[in-house]
Amino acid sequence: MNYIIAPPTPSSLPVAGSDQRFPVRRVFCIGRNYAEHAREMGAAVEHGQPMFFCKPADAVVTDDTDVPYPSATSDLHHEVEMVVALKAGGRDLSPSQANEAVFGYGVGLDLTRRDLQAQAKAKGHPWDVAKAFDHSAPVSALHPATEVTPTADTALRLSVNGELRQQGRLGDMIHDVPAIIAALSRLFELKPGDLIFTGTPAGVAALQRGDRFHAELVGIAELDGQMV
């Protein structure tokens, strides 16, 4: 292929225990998937159609790289989440087909410019500038589903500078992983390489330059980084 300019380097994630990498196609996120987080944000807890938004693939930060503090905000918040990577896709998937599409699991941060999000909400505007900015999706190495199995009791945690900030159980999710994937597949054609952030428990708060964070999908994946 003779491109008029050099094509961008594709985003990818390391695969634990391997020298191979997982290419990232799209990044989907679900909002308000933990009831206590929805309440702390002043939102209603809804059990119907999930609410989705997207981040660009090149927002992914990996290999425990430092995370630049973004421009245009004075209120950057952390949201720790289990991340699901897909090896297959399709449309209108059943929950059982959704399970079969999973390649593996990681842990990540959905970084949010909370002040810009609040301004957008007040005006009824989209959240893109609050969620889809550069370096807004730090993610750990992926652990293949053939080797690990998250359960309802699997804990999700985030510590900042050694202080526990967020903690929850996957069983606290309003929509579980098969339901999330199935719902997404009714809105988009999913494909191999897609990532899904599955929601955050309560306890979101601000990050500052110099803060060090440690995220865990306990017993499965860990992510360390620093805001710079």
CATH number at residue 182: 3.90.850.10
120 membership: H or E segment, kind and range: helix 114-123
Answer yes or no: is 6 within a domain. Answer: no
pTM for this model (two decimals):
0.96
Q: What are 100-149's pLDDT values in tens digits?
A: 999 999 999 999 999 999 999 999 999 999 999 999 999 999 999 999 99
Answer yes or no: is 3 within a domain. Answer: no
Structural domain harbouring 139:
12-226
Task: For the chain, give the percent of residues with pLDDT over 90.
Answer: 93
Three-state DSSP at 42 gives coil
Nearest to 51 by CA among 42, 65, 38: 38
Task: Tally the domains of the chain.
Answer: 1
Answer yes or no: is 72 within a domain. Answer: yes
Three-state DSSP at 43 gives coil
Answer yes or no: is 5 within a domain. Answer: no
DSSP 173: B
- CB neighbours of 123 closer than 8 A, spacing ≥ 6? none
CB neighbourhood size of 20 (10 A): 8
